[in-house]
Amino acid sequence: MIRVLLVDDQELVRSGLRMVLDAQDGLVVVDEAGDGQAAVERVRAGGVDVVVMDVRMPRLDGVGATERIAALPDPPRVLLLTTFDLDEYAFAGLRAGAAGFLLKDVPTTELVSAIRAVHEGDAVVAPSTTRRLLDRFLPHLPGSQAAEDVFAELTAREREVLVLLAKGLSNLEISEALFLSEGTVKTHVSRVLTKLGVRDRVQAVVLAYQSGLVGLER
């Protein structure tokens, strides 16, 4: 059972999301919060696997709350929702440690799939969105080491897995592309994250582009 915390400053939105999510097999909404500060406090209490969080809220917005949650020991995954399709929000959220970024008008099936995906360690940012964000913001990021230095500890197979991650493939798609079991792919992904010293798949993807291991193909 995936335990979900809903965070939005509009009670009506929270109620609607609760009705949708509680009706799904394997999902349960364990609590709600009306702002980012309350969300952080609730997460500290434990018992949350995935936080579905609005971006724009009073007291502490979703990006700030995500950053604080990501800094906690063994934090839950954070999926940001917003009514505003702005690159700045998506980029800031991913940099803060969010595992995904979706618009509030996303179909129910996609929202449920996204919650399940981030719980399993996947990211839910579409490859096209990832490329657009990186293309826009990478020139403004601090310079990084060459790819050969950053990824020196990775095996050839781990590099292959990272490249496919950066192209937006799921664990299942990577397993099919490399003729590996999904369990083996999960092991490779875990080792990649550990060796790179990154928090999650999203940060690994950003690093892959930032360091030049993967290019911004159109």
Give per-residue pLDDT as tens, 67-103.
999 999 999 999 998 776 555 666 777 778 888 888 7
pLDDT value at residue 214: 72
- Residue ranges in the chain whose pLDDT is less than 50: 141-143, 216-218
Report pLDDT for 92. 77
**pTM, two decimal places:** 0.68
Q: What is the pLDDT of residue 217?
A: 47
Tokens linked to 193: 């994250």
pLDDT of the residue at 203: 76
What's the pLDDT score for residue 138?
Answer: 55
> Measured at the alpha carbon of residue 117, what is the angle toward residues 172 and 88, in degrees to the nearest 5?
115
Which tens digit of pLDDT belongs to each residue from 121-139? 777 765 555 555 656 655 5
Q: Write down the pLDDT at residue 86.
A: 57
Q: Quick one: tokens of 61?
A: 């917005």
What does the pLDDT read at residue 142?
47
Q: What is the dihedral of CA 171, 176, 180, 184, to 10 degrees?
A: 10
Token representation of residue 166: 């950066």
If you average pLDDT over every residue of the chain, what do you get? 83
